[in-house]
Structure 1
Amino acid sequence: MNILILTGRFGMGHVKCAEAIKEEIKHKYPNSNVTVIDFCDYCFPRASKYIYKGFELCVFKFYDAYNKLAKFSNHLNCVPFKRMIYNHMEKLMSTYSPDLVVADLPMCVQYFSSFKKKHRVKVPFYVYITDITIHKDWISKNVDRYFVGDRICKRELIDNGIVDSRIHVCGIPVARSFAGGTEQPKRETNVLIMGGGLGLIPCQETILSALNNEEGVTTTIICGKNEALRHEIISKYKNINAIGFTDRVSDYLKEADVIITKPGGITTFEAIKARTPLYVIEPTLEQELGNSRFIKRKGLGVIVSNRDDFNVQALLDFVHNADKINKIKDNMRVLSERFESSNPVDYLEVA
């Protein structure tokens, strides 16, 4: 069986999700041929690096403009460069001969669903939505099955005309390595700080200063590719373990009792799988706001909506509150037990 997964580096969450889907398929169906394609690299090989850099600039420097553009685009109904993209789609289908096409990026959903309709493609097309909120670009009647993180997401799809039986609440797929957080008693509370690829979170200096001087707390911050930040932390905070880019995120997350982070869809569900309570300060992007509402509604952590409302003592109280932390861990366990299978091949026989 040949399976093609279409994704892109608009935030690394989509790529992580694609790799997790591939891992899940290969674990259960080892003879499957699974190929992950960066859609932007494939269709725009000369321009993709500039497209990605422009996206990062908008997200990190001009997020207000990014949010306004996202809201505006939600009212549009256009798929540009169709003819050129269709040529790439034909080449993809010819090269890989997929029995199933999967996408976890809105751009891929619109282009492939349009291609599928125009060329009467019979190959099943499954879509994984990587946030709790729904953007119009995720929605197409030509998608055969949707995989979503929460029932709220499922309801939004149904309200937009997608048939109930085609939607599966499975959580957002994350790597298998995140499963099985430690439940052993510890002498100290482990706090993990992650702020994405640049390692930045709101109120960072205040948080680090407080945790650096707090007894009974071991703090690790993952700085990603921001080496300047890592060296600054090492020089200023002797009790903070600052590390750079690492492929051991799952190990650090499973060891942590609390994670202070941005509420990206993938990060949220990595924490759920590891049973690590979330502490979020000032979510900014539209999808982060939706994910934060989900975290609060399901009792998966603490949300501080505005940095002006941040209180460092409240953070320290939370870090030391074993009863509250254990309650959140239990909420995560119960939520996970209700998820359907996230393996797309499981659904092919009844497609």
Structure 2
Amino acid sequence: MPDRPEPLPGTAPAPATTPRRSAPQRIAVISASVGAGHDGAAAGLADRLTAQGFTVDRQDFLDVLPAGAGRLLCGSYHRLLTWAPEGYQHLYRATDRASRPGLVWRALFRSAERRLLRGLAPDTCAVVSTYPGASQVLGALRLRGRLTVPALTYLTDFSVHALWIAPGIDAHLAVHAVPAAQAHAQGAAGVTVAGPVTDARFTPATDGQRPAARTRFGLPAQAPLALLVAGSWGVGPVRRAAAEIRATGLAVPVVVCGRNTALVEELKQDGIAFAFGWVDDMPGLMHACDVLVQNAGGLTSLEAFAAGLPVASYRCIPGHGRTNAEALEEAGLAAWIRGPEDLAPVLADLLHGARGSDQRAAGIALHRSAPGPVPAVAARTGHRPDGTPPSQGPGGPRWRRQNRRRGRARVVAAVAAVVATLTLGIAAPLADAFGHAPGGIIAVTHYLDGDRS
């Protein structure tokens, strides 16, 4: 019998018989159509998982809530932001202080469990949530052993509200060390700095792209342009912000109003010449502009970082808009302009000064510093080339062994947290650990899940 040919370098030896090709591993991604940020992150994650050979199923968490409760919840949130923003601020703060969701929230989440489980294919090997309500349901299912595959949360915000952290979730993936530190401080399990997910079209503009984009959108050829965004709903004091940017004389405001068509007309009546509704080519519009001014700190900020735009947070919406602004400023990624008296000097520095150069570099570095969440998700699927089965869910022997280790880890973590807080604060030591850890994905896995009440 002739010898088998030597394998090429970096490949496995050829088997004696050709194995049957295994089906792609299936991962479910659960988002919520509340605005566009959660869905945008889910779409980017799904695209990258698919490119790596996974089969991806998408679910909208609002659809699994009973009797139209999801749409009612979304509509109420929208109306609260529009008509009573400070009421939303109080609600956000009250729920952020709670150690666990209130009775109404728990009842609502419990009612979604069966429908969510029915939506998972039998061969699903992991579930990823980009919405806090979905994470609460998945965590509860994991704790009771009804969901036997890993459940992960991809934190889409730079600030981490308490609802994001659900006992039972196996891992929490953050875009930066600042939200990772906040999640860890709240007892999140498997905290990992995975990096952001944005469309690959968001890149710094070349010399040729900028004038072409300005021509395509009918924008001034030479004037500095400030791109003002307010999410897909176009909420917040957008008209006031646009007028104040124009009054500085430093930049021409270019406003994107999302699906708020009434706001477009109001801005034009105010004399804001460049007001757009929903824009499909946001990468092109960012190529045309010189600075981004935003009020919510969501996906658009991450896109601007990838596009090389300096970012300012101004006249932020209540709740997550303000906490995201604070976290982005702490990360050195965006300036938080707290009052109109600071608008002109900060804009000038972002457009022409060192602050703008520093933030452009920091934003681009954010997208290059970590490989994104796909490797972290893949590592949690439990499937390996040697056929190792998925890890057992809560209740099995392996889970009990892990839980004993978690008890010891809680003691170690508590001591470490006290030391860190009394010296440099939690963000600094975590950021240092993230910066020096090997391997590209930087994990701080203390496994502090369990009852936080």
**Residue in 2 aligned with 1:92?**
119
| Distance change >3 Å, CA 87–CA 70, structure 1 → 2 | same
Q: Which moved more, 1:13-22 or 1:71-80?
A: 71-80
CA RMSD of aligned residues (A): 2.9
Cα displacement (A) at 1:319: 5.8
In structure 2, distance between residues paired with 1:320 and 1:159: 36
TM-score normalised by length of structure 1: 0.85
**Residue in 2 aligned with 1:26?**
50
Native 8 Å contact 1:257 1:325 kept in 2: no
In structure 2, distance between residues paired with 1:301 and 1:48: 33
Cα displacement (A) at 1:201: 4.9
SS class of match (1:176): coil
Cα displacement (A) at 1:169: 0.9
The answer as to 2:254 corresponding to 1:230 is no
**Residue in 2 aligned with 1:177?**
201
The answer as to 2:93 corresponding to 1:71 is yes
Cα displacement (A) at 1:234: 3.7
Count residues with an aligned counterpart.
Answer: 341
In structure 1, distance between residues paired with 2:347 and 2:91: 37
Identity of aligned residues (%): 17
In structure 1, distance between residues paired with 2:131 and 2:240: 34
Cα displacement (A) at 1:57: 0.9
TM-score normalised by length of structure 2: 0.67
| Distance change >3 Å, CA 223–CA 72, structure 1 → 2 | closer
The answer as to 2:217 corresponding to 1:193 is no
What does the per-residue CA deviation read over 1:207-260, in whole Å, with 9 as the maximum and x for residues that have no partner? 447638958x5542212222233234345537x322211221222123322011
| Distance change >3 Å, CA 243–CA 81, structure 1 → 2 | closer
In structure 2, distance between residues paired with 1:46 and 1:349: 32
Cα displacement (A) at 1:320: 4.2
The answer as to 2:330 corresponding to 1:334 is no
| Distance change >3 Å, CA 59–CA 229, structure 1 → 2 | closer
Task: For 2:368, give the aligned amino acid.
Answer: E
| Distance change >3 Å, CA 45–CA 18, structure 1 → 2 | farther
**Residue in 2 aligned with 1:221?**
255
1:143-292 pair list within 5 angstroms: 143-163=169-189, 166-178=190-202, 180-184=203-207, 187-202=222-237, 204-205=239-240, 207-208=242-243, 211=246, 214=249, 217=251, 219-237=253-271, 240-292=273-325
Greater Cα radius of gyration, structure 1 or 2: 2
Structure 1 unaligned segments of length 5 or more: list them: none
**Residue in 2 aligned with 1:48?**
70
Cα displacement (A) at 1:55: 1.0
Task: For 2:337, give the aligned amino acid.
Answer: V
In structure 2, distance between residues paired with 1:272 and 1:191: 15
Cα displacement (A) at 1:22: 0.7
SS class of match (2:195): coil
Native 8 Å contact 1:206 1:312 kept in 2: no
Cα displacement (A) at 1:206: 6.3
Native 8 Å contact 1:171 1:269 kept in 2: no
